[in-house]
Amino acid sequence: MTKVFVADNQDPSPILDEIEREAQRRRVSLQWVSMARLDREARTEQHQGVLAFAKRLDTVSLEVLLELPHPFFLVCDGVTDPRNLGAMLRSADGAGVTGVIVPRHRSAHVSPTVAKTAAGAIEYLNFCDVGGVPTAIDQLNRAGVLTVGLAGESSTSLYDLDLGSTPVALIVGSEEKGLAALTRKRCQAVVSIPQMGRIESLNAGVALSVAAFEVARQRRL
């Protein structure tokens, strides 16, 4: 964190006092600015009166991710909605994901909206950007990672897989079209989450959350 802006027309509150104390403790510049300036700088209307500036998010190579203990990856195959991506990252951190793989093109990336929705999760996750998801899946397969694509129309249940005794990568497709054809072909398994209602499929972020915590559950066993 390099500096913090706080809107100067807010009522006093304990949380603002805590932010100021933490900035002083970390020797980070804290500036009181107008709400108009905060709106311009934040590029979002949902900043809640406080904006922290941080260094650019570092990424690592796929080779580095594979060296981490207990590999558990989230692979985003064309997730374009920043709020969906942010929700996925929040769930990924909670479920113990060790690395997030995102394509450089035709995909949402970490932005103010993603960071806010992720509620701090981006600070604890390792990110890898790749030229193409199918090529990355090939590399994961060769490294002994079980690559699992999520697709609501699949007849194979997520709960029938052994997800607790092997490195795992969960692959989530775009919100509208799901997994790309080549991505689906490269996955070792394509599964769905059994549902009892009449709606055909879950939101991509919700599906990832359910699947990620199923991996976490099996790993605990």
pLDDT in tens, the chain (221 residues): 689 999 888 888 899 999 999 999 989 999 999 988 988 887 766 678 888 887 777 889 999 999 999 999 999 998 988 889 999 999 999 999 999 999 988 888 888 788 888 888 888 899 999 999 999 999 999 999 999 999 988 999 999 999 999 999 999 998 878 899 999 999 999 999 988 877 767 888 899 999 999 999 999 98
Residues 38 and 111 in one domain: no
Q: Are residues 109 and 194 in the same domain?
A: yes
Contact 179, 137 (CB under 8 A): no
CA–CA dist 112, 84 (Å, integer): 13
Range list of H helices, the chain: 14-25, 35-42, 62-67, 82-95, 112-118, 133-142, 181-186, 204-220
- Note whether 23 and 74 are same-domain residues: no
**Which residue in this structure is represented by tokens 């052994």?**
162
Domain that holds residue 70: 62-220
Single-letter amino acid, residue 19: I
Q: What is the CATH number of the domain that holds 99?
A: 3.40.1280.10
- Number of folded domains that form the chain: 2
Cα diameter, the chain: 57
d(CA 72, CA 65): 9
Residues 45 and 66 in one domain: no
pTM of this structure: 0.83
Q: What is the CA radius of gyration of the chain?
A: 19
How many C-beta atoms surround the C-beta of residue 114 within 10 A? 21
Residues 27 and 83 in one domain: no
